[in-house]
Structure 1
Amino acid sequence: MTSSRPGLPGLLDTEAIRKDFPVLDRQIHDGKRLVYLDNAATSQKPRQVLDALNTYYERHNANVHRGVHVLAEEATALYEGARDKVAAFVNAPSRDEVIFTKNASESLNLVANMLGWADEPYRVDHETEIVITEMEHHSNIVPWQLLAQRTGAKLKWFGLTDDGRLDLSNLDEVITEKTKVVSFTLVSNIMGTVNPVEEIVRRAQEVNALVVVDASQAAPHMVLDVQAIQADFVAFTGHKMCGPTGIGVLWGRQELLEDLPPFLGGGEMIETVSMHSSTYAPAPHKFEAGTPPIAQAVGLGAAVDYLSGIGMDAIAAHEHALTGYAVQRLQDVPDLRIIGPGTAEDRGAAISFVLGDIHPHDVGQVLDEQGIAVRVGHHCARPVCLRYGIPATTRASFYLYSTPAEVDALVEGLEYVRNFFG
């Protein structure tokens, strides 16, 4: 791989880090070294997480909270220990504010349904408004559409500027006294845009609206401090941050979790049950009906340990330097158009683009033949593609183990694509 890159300050020791990720040693398609640039969809898992999962199943497997035997007590300690780790990772005031779900989509659906069933002052109804943005993942659009359809609430949203930023020029007109909830992504999964949390939260607080933040593309890549961002709920998922699939997190303010009704009913979330009525356990168990994702939570705890050991500030600095380099190099590719911010300022490590009139699916297929894994499509953010008049994009996304050499490989691969399609 040739490279024109200058010195990039702030990079991690990726040579050492990559040794922790077995899959990165894979060779595919007749011996081509895997270049994995699909991290916004899911990250790879270090040995430390794989070992934690194996050890749990081999040594401690049992159901939690219900048994007095050794394995049950060990499993419970590991599961609740993972909750402690996640609470510390996001600077939650209380461990009881951390709810385990199966993914961020479930976390956001949980909030939407709680607010639909809530009593005043939280209830969403036909006299209220819900505000989202045009850059949301479908997981932060569809639950609110369903809630609006069910309750008669009005759904509103912020549009996008030509350079992939939120258009907040009408902030006070979109968020009004009727607004009950404002839900937005901290970092766009398709464009990498980092949104101005303080400005949005300030306006929401002025009208006493609840703030929900989708941090799925933030938690793996930067310091996530739920107290600093002053949201009421924050959702993220484990599989994008070196953890297993099947585990997500919803953080919520303690007083809200105490007041709001549960979404799912069943075992573990109850205090007492009779044939006539039931009372509910305190949070977080109030919102964790049935057997939880125990092994997955243990794996997420191991992932938190791994990321914390490297340092989220260091990971953010690495990705910022790498993203700046990638943006620069991609802009030199003829006929390539970046969809979203054209600089590394206030953007994350996901870069979407179109290459001339070559369909993104063709771009992705030819790149794959070169050993380069990217994502193609609308990335569960179809309104963004509609806004910019494109059917889909190719998306390259980086993480703590990504290297400048992989950026160079991507650029060379795109040149091959251009030549292939003449």
Structure 2
Amino acid sequence: MNVADVRSYFPILNQEVNGNPLVYLDSAATSQKPVQVMEALETYYREYNSNVHRGVHTLGTRATDGYEGAREKVRKFINAKSTQEVIFTRGTTTALNTVAASFGKANVQPGDEIVITYMEHHSNIIPWQQLAKATGATLKYLPLQEDGTILLADVSEIVNSKTKIVSVTMVSNVLGVMNPIKEIAKIAHEHGAVMVVDGAQAAPHMRIDVQDLDCDFLGFSAHKMCGPTGIGVLYGKKHLLENMEPIEFGGEMIDFVDLYDSTWKELPWKFEGGTPIIAGAIGLGAAIDFLTEIGLENIQAHEHRLAAYALEKMSAVEGMTIYGPLDPNKRAGLVTFNIADVHPHDVATVLDAEGIAVRAGHHCAQPLMKWLKASATARASFYLYNTEEDIDKLVAGLIKTKEYFSDVF
């Protein structure tokens, strides 16, 4: 399937913004949705909207089949051993918070250590900060090389017998760095620590095999991978999840409720209290079908070509600073940058006038901004529907931005 065919499934791209054809380069924040996902959501609401698990009527059975069928699609998508290891959440943030609040509070003691990196999204920093404060543990950071990458030698030096949790993003939402999760997990396990992975920027773009990675927990969000907002996934190894307590209590997640005590359902439902995100799960299932048909290997190869092209073209713009590895083989499909003497919000505003959507700000990664010595940056992120022509328009817009501010000042 070529890019023109792929783009035909995304009607939102066929519009003008400020009198110019839309160039959407903000998929790292949220991806656009193909008609297949929108139709799956509409069909659920039009034809079999019902609650799941509770009823024996036809609509309830169809809704349950759709919801649990989506869980099986997720299992295959990440190669989990069992659907019991797949928990639906509101997103990556909820997934990581669940690990910290349930596994962390039960297993982390005063004097223990939690290891993360400077490149983490706030969702993979704050839960561990809170856990460290609550338990008396120490939060430690893996150092970064000049290009933002991690050295395994540093991992081996910092992770030790006191380490209980290592939590690292698979792909940085700012630097585009692809971290060696499998190797980091091996080091963590050698010291008895568990490996937690933020997969938000990886799941949409590359194949994830949790058994091959040997990670203990993984979180990711549907809305970054052509699915709807408001739903994500927590994967956890079954033996770990079985020994964890739920953090939300109420309907759906209980087995039996007495006056003074209650028992929980088996996995995965004990972590899915209340009416679950039924339509969201069905939409995520449709997104997985869509991505699987195109092929994650094809998507990753396409984005690699776009990143290489963007690095070449953007590096030629005078006054351009690009963050992260300049070797396209070491990064995913996004480029974070600044133009000398132009604030990234001004860059994004001028580009928007040209119909080009990029992200500007700290990207929910303020510790990394501090490490980069930048208060904010601009970011162009690519997905399966982007083209080299999009990047050409971006570069032309950046040159226009630079010229405009040179004239003003």
**Given the two structures, how large is their TM-score scaled by the length of structure 2?**
0.98
1:258 aligns with 242
2:385 aligns with 401
Residues 162-241 of structure 1 aligned to structure 2 (within 5 Å): 162-241=146-225
Which of 48, 56, 63 is 1:68 aligned to? 56
Per-residue deviation, 1:173: 3.0
1:327 aligns with 311
2:328 aligns with 344
For the aligned residues, what is the CA RMSD? 0.9
Q: Does 1:317 align with 2:311?
A: no
- Secondary structure of the 1:208 match is coil
2:349 aligns with 365
> How many residues matched?
406
Distance 1:116 1:378 in 2: 28
Per-residue deviation, 1:127: 2.5
Q: Is the 8 A contact 1:158 1:168 kept in 2?
A: no
Distance 2:167 2:104 in 1: 14
What are the ranges of 5 or more consecutive residues in structure 1 without an aligned counterpart? 1-11
What are the ranges of 5 or more consecutive residues in structure 2 without an aligned counterpart? none
Per-residue deviation, 1:200: 1.1
Which of 106, 113, 122 is 1:138 aligned to? 122
2:6 aligns with 17
Distance 2:154 2:302 in 1: 35
Q: Is the 8 A contact 1:185 1:214 kept in 2?
A: yes
Per-residue deviation, 1:349: 0.8
2:362 aligns with 378
Cα deviation code 1:12-53 (max 9, x no counterpart): 6111110000100011112x1000000000000000000000
Q: Is the 8 A contact 2:40 2:282 kept in 1?
A: yes
- Secondary structure of the 2:328 match is coil
Moved over 6 A (4+): none
Cα deviation code 1:246-293 (max 9, x no counterpart): 000000111111111111111111111111111111110010000111
Which of 220, 227, 231 is 1:247 aligned to? 231
1:98 aligns with 86
Which of 15, 18, 29 is 1:29 aligned to? 18
Paired-residue identity, %: 52
| Aligned residue identity for 1:33 | P
Higher helix proportion = 2
Greater shift, 308-317 or 198-207, is seen at: 198-207
Per-residue deviation, 1:167: 4.5
Distance 1:168 1:393 in 2: 28
2:145 aligns with 161
Q: Is the 8 A contact 1:129 1:180 kept in 2?
A: yes
Residues 34-73 of structure 1 aligned to structure 2 (within 5 Å): 34-73=22-61
Distance 1:307 1:89 in 2: 10
Distance 1:289 1:227 in 2: 27
Per-residue deviation, 1:383: 1.0
Which of 104, 107, 111 is 1:116 aligned to? 104
